[in-house]
Structure 1
Amino acid sequence: MYKNAKPLFLICETPLHVGSGSDLGIVDLPIQRERHTNFPKIEASSLKGALREAFESELVLSEKDDDKAKNNLIKINKAFGFDDGELGIDVKKRFSAKDHLKEAFKDNSQFSGALALTDARLLLFPVKSLYGVFAWITCPRVIKKFISDLGLTDLQFDFKEINGAMVANGSALFGQGQKMQLEEFVFSKVNPVTSDNEVNKLGIWLSKTLFNDDQSYWSEKIKTDIVVLDDNDFRDFVTLATEVITRTKINNETGTVQQSALFSEEYLPAESVMYSLVMFSDEFSDKEGKMTASQVEEFFGQLPSIVQIGGNATLGKGIVRTKFVNT
């Protein structure tokens, strides 16, 4: 049984493609989406694998002391679950990791990890704006689910559910007029979008949580440039306003496009903000000195601030800034 939960925020620094396989639609390689809402997501299994790899890179491969590296590798397996088949080639080369782990877990080599992650849900989606360059959009359904998920943690927050289309006070998205243009759609300042302090409260909380309210560009922008749209409008934007990139392959012999090598990929755009819940339990073992849920949480707090998630890593895609909120 998991004893506590904390949110993990993911801020896309570059476009992100966590694929769902091939598709018969317009886009050959679409991103993962919720079945019932069509909102973008990252499956927990994809996220957990990427975070595990980040831990191995940071705490095992980059650790110069062999004893510390082996101890960290044992903790990684206790937290994420033991499976020697999941060890990367570089980790195995570093030292006899497979044999060492089998010795460390000889009495109990198959067990569940002491942490779990939920699917990463989309919280804020960036869209092009006529004024203010871009806006972060969300919707009442997303906010209600976000508040419900935060209720499983011990975090303090004072913003409430929002039931209609709203925009933060002081937003520059309207320019000098009464209308706001997002992509090719125009919204009136009062119909259906209205000003409400509740959106400001959400922006201020996110500024403090994600950017430590450091008065930076991003910290200030998120306070005023969040727009809460109708659920249906939000669904249309996250369905139709993602990045779709057409790629091809060049024939090395002719220097021209290789026949039948044209395909398209979908990406969640940079500046998208997602979140997942990380849940912690005691180590699944009857040995003395096993890791407690609090120790697993403390260990997870060493998560690197920058990780790579999804495909096309060699093209610079999927670079994500993490923010684990455990206070």
Structure 2
Amino acid sequence: MSFSTHRYLLMTTDPVHIGTGGMRLGRVDNSIVREPGTRLPKIPGTSLSGAIRSYAAYRYGKRECAGQGVEKERGKGHCGQLTCPICYTFGSIKGDNANSGVVSIGDARLLLFPVYSMVGPVWVTSPSALQDFGIEDESVEGNKAKWNGVTNQGHLNLGWLMVEKNDGDWEIPEKLPGSVRNRTVLISDKLFSQVVNSNLEVRTSVSINPETGAAEDKALFTYEAIPRAAFLWMDAVVDDYRKGELWKNGGIIWKAHKELYFPSFS
């Protein structure tokens, strides 16, 4: 079977801003991409696919295959070789020939969001966020919260919001990252969206004049960002419609071209 789905857990190591484009009235000038129904931040699969392709091309020493393949006028762009792991995996455009890739990257959706509290940092999640990730049958009452080991008190602040503890312990799912399992707080879907959006990082920047390299006059702006140490998940779908033809018979075709195209990895 050539079709398979692989799920990955991601952690932000720096603030992440994927903008919606243009300036808007509101809390910040440049807002980030959100799910239409839940208003939760996300990272579009197209943004991830481009970054992953660029990293893979750098890793294999094929930087010309990292872009969009439209720089043919200057002798650059995708190599278009069927034996190139970058072009084979992500697709290629070379002249009038175009081939689709065998991997599709889905949106990265929020699972655990870091929030400041009086007892230190905690990571909030919700029943729907857990269910989408594959963890079923978790629930919480109204505007209350569930936690284990975070504090012995019957209430906990999540940024500006104070919540009461829901009766009964929360059986923290094993699938959650071990580094944050004992500091995870379960809140309702309604509160989750409010807590996340009110605790996004707001950063200030200034536009740069491309000709002078100096700051533009009166060009100060603010933008939202998903903070460091947020956990998201994504699915990668592999649909090898070529049925791995280059890797059949022990990868004879691939091995024959490996030294030619990638001598540093022979």
TM-score of the two chains, using structure 1 as the length reference:
0.62
Which of the residues 252, 258, 262 maps onto 2:220? 262
Pair 1:125 & 2:125 matched: no
**Count of residue correspondences:** 226
- The two structures, once aligned, show a CA RMSD in angstroms of 3.0
Bigger relative contact order, structure 1 or 2 (CA pairs below 8 A, ≥6 apart): 1
Inter-partner Cα distance in structure 1 for 2:83 and 2:198: 42
Inter-partner Cα distance in structure 2 for 1:70 and 1:118: 24
Amino acid at match of 1:118: G
Q: Deviation at 1:248?
A: 2.7
Please give the residue correspondences for 1:152-231 in structure 2 after superposition, counting only pairs within 5 Å: 159-164=135-140, 166-169=145-148, 171-172=149-150, 174=151, 176-190=152-166, 194-197=168-171, 200=172, 202=173, 204-207=174-177, 219-220=178-179, 222-231=180-189
Q: Deviation at 1:160?
A: 2.9
Whether the aligned pair in 2 keeps the contact of 1:247 and 1:263 (CA below 8 Å) is: yes
Inter-partner Cα distance in structure 2 for 1:113 and 1:163: 40
Pair 1:136 & 2:123 matched: yes
Please give the residue correspondences for 1:224-303 in structure 2 after superposition, counting only pairs within 5 Å: 224-248=182-206, 258-284=216-242, 289-291=245-247
Inter-partner Cα distance in structure 2 for 1:117 and 1:249: 31
Inter-partner Cα distance in structure 1 for 2:118 and 2:33: 29
Aligned to 2:10: 10
Q: 1:144 to 1:42 in 2, by over 3 A?
A: same
Amino acid at match of 1:20: T
Whether the aligned pair in 2 keeps the contact of 1:59 and 1:73 (CA below 8 Å) is: no
Amino acid at match of 1:25: L
TM-score of the two chains, using structure 2 as the length reference:
0.75
Aligned to 2:66: none
Inter-partner Cα distance in structure 2 for 1:249 and 1:43: 24
- 1:166-190 CA-partner distances (Å, limit 9, x unpaired): 5343x22x2x432211101111223
Whether the aligned pair in 1 keeps the contact of 2:80 and 2:93 (CA below 8 Å) is: no
Q: 1:239 to 1:270 in 2, by over 3 A?
A: same
- 1:203-248 CA-partner distances (Å, limit 9, x unpaired): x3223xxxxxxxxxxx34x121111111111111122210111223
SS at match of 1:236: helix
Aligned to 1:301: none
Aligned to 2:74: none
Query: Quick check: which one's strand share is greater?
Result: 2
Inter-partner Cα distance in structure 1 for 2:190 and 2:245: 52
- 1:125-153 CA-partner distances (Å, limit 9, x unpaired): 1111110x211111111112111xxxxxx
Whether the aligned pair in 2 keeps the contact of 1:168 and 1:223 (CA below 8 Å) is: no
Which of the residues 114, 133, 139 maps onto 2:102? 114
Q: Deviation at 1:47?
A: 0.9
Q: 1:70 to 1:45 in 2, by over 3 A?
A: closer
Aligned to 2:93: 83
Inter-partner Cα distance in structure 1 for 2:161 and 2:112: 18
Whether the aligned pair in 2 keeps the contact of 1:60 and 1:72 (CA below 8 Å) is: no
